[in-house]
Amino acid sequence: MDDADERAPYRCLPLVVANQYGWEILSTHHIRASWDGTSGGEGLCIESAYGNGGLRCQSHFGEGVLTFQIPFLFKTPRGWNLMVRGPTNSPKDGIVALDGIIETDWAHSTFTMNWRFTRACTVEFALGEPICLFFPIRRGVLEMFRGEFRMLEADREFESKFRKWSASRDKFLSGLEKGKPEVVAQGWQKDYMQTAKQKKPLAHPFANENAVDRARTGKCVR
């Protein structure tokens, strides 16, 4: 996003909000992985260029799946899962992250983060590159919703707001195409940015146990 012309992706608030949603786990090594397209586990070769500690990735499942061991146990309140996936809006050529939902309110085991090759090739993960993203989701929320198809005209107020926005959008795009100075000077419409400060989520950093104890008791527990 930083490298884009005029950093234009930052104008899309939904994109910016999504990029801030959750916590990332970073690679502790610079990893180079090559898959030959075969189904067996031996068809995937992994090497570490450099890094800290032991290498926590392997070919465990076969089928071109690269598996990262996540060396943490997560505990969430009752009824809350963790959505585990690849870093948001960060496509990687030749390999794709696989999503998983972990019931971390009762599970007492670790989980793995898995990436699957899309073709026979070599990919690299740099030291410090995100390999996993996770965020909590409440179990059972999806089942609470019932989707319906309705005619727009069924809600006159909503329809009016949409028609007004649509006409404004068409006028703005037409002005850009025709090179109208006042429209070009505006650059882009900012509908999504009207309440941007209220829409940005904040994922608080993880605290270590001693820091939490100090906050609660004023003492450092050793």
Q: Look at residue 38 in the predicted model and tell me its pLDDT.
A: 96
Domain contains 178: no
Q: Where are the alpha helices (DSSP H) in 61-180?
A: 156-178
What's the Cα-to-Cα distance from 112 to each of 13, 58, 122, 162, rounded to whole Å? Answer: 31, 10, 21, 44
Domain contains 207: no
Domain contains 23: yes
Question: Where would I find the beta strands (DSSP E) of the chain?
Answer: 23-26, 29-35, 44-51, 57-58, 65-69, 80-85, 95-97, 100-102, 112-117, 121-125, 130-138
Q: Supply the pTM of this predicted model.
A: 0.83
Q: Where are the alpha helices (DSSP H) in the chain?
A: 13-19, 156-178, 181-186, 196-199, 209-217
Domain contains 122: yes
Domain contains 183: no
Q: Look at residue 199 in the predicted model and tell me its pLDDT.
A: 56
What total of structural domains would you count in the chain? 1
Domain contains 27: yes
Domain of 117, in residue numbers: 5-140
Q: Look at residue 222 in the predicted model and tell me its pLDDT.
A: 40
Domain contains 154: no
Task: Assign residue 42 the CATH number of its domain.
Answer: 2.70.40.10
Q: Look at residue 156 in the predicted model and tell me its pLDDT.
A: 95
175/187 Cα distance (integer angstroms)? 11
148/51 Cα distance (integer angstroms)? 51
Per-residue pLDDT of the chain (222 residues; tens, 9 = 90+): 778 777 777 778 788 888 889 999 999 999 999 999 999 999 999 999 888 888 889 999 999 999 999 999 999 999 999 999 999 999 999 999 999 999 999 999 999 999 999 999 999 999 999 999 999 999 999 999 999 999 999 999 999 999 999 999 898 889 888 888 887 777 777 776 665 555 556 788 888 876 555 555 555 434
| Amino acid, single-letter form, for residue 135 | F
Domain contains 34: yes
